Amino acid sequence: MTDRVACIVPAFRAEHTLPGVLRQLRGALPDARIVVVDDGSPDATAIVAKDLADWTIRLPGNRGKGAALRAGFDEALRAGDDVVLTLDADGQHDPAYASALIAALDGFDIVIGERVRAGSPMPLRRRITNAMASAAVARVTGIRLRDTQSGFRVIRRTVLEHVRGRGDRYEFETDFLIRAAHAGFRIRNASVPTLYGPVSHFRGMSDSARIVRTIWEHRRAGVHARAS
């Protein structure tokens, strides 16, 4: 029996990059269902999504990437999809590697695309925050993961059925990952290209602060649990 795959693409102000991402994704995974979650974009993102995706969800206002992913996960569960692949609409995830990420699920429940930091196009500040966050998540979860911040991921349905991440913005992905690890799900990295361009909705200080706070709250909860 072949797994039903849903590709969840959170999108905000992505009218220029989304067409290329969706066409490449369709070529890489012709049998997958493409679901775009338009996060209240004021541009033509919704029109592009309606033309090229199999299913479109439009949030009434800009809620954040976490809220968009949560809506996409709910849709995948509703539709009976077995595997969910997530990637961004800004062109910084190469759809050509989608099938390789899915294949890497063998024996695992979540696969996270691992980007090379050293000598890559990743901005220096993002390299530092990525390395620090990944090390902190590995410490909290007990799982050695070299890149925990990549949004290029593959997740089995059973994880979505048992894990409900918190947060509406970029901290959602970190929270979801930590909760999945604590629930006993198997997680690994798989190599993907490091792509960076001028389009990014990651707000350096505020979004990094949310991620740090999320990791710290899980770490504090773990310390309290061991002490009790």
Catalogue the E-assigned strands of 115-192.
153-156, 187-191
Q: pTM of the entire structure?
A: 0.86
The dihedrals phi and psi of 159, each to the nearest 5 degrees, come to -70, -45
User: What does pLDDT average to over the chain?
Assistant: 87
- What single string gives the DSSP state of each residue in 171-211? HHHHHHHHHHHHTT--EEEEE------S-----HHHHHHHH
Tokens describing residue 190: 């798989």
- Which CATH number is associated with domain 5-227? 3.90.550.10
Residue 203 has pLDDT above 60, yes or no: no
**What pLDDT, on the 0 to 100 scale, is given for residue 215?**
80
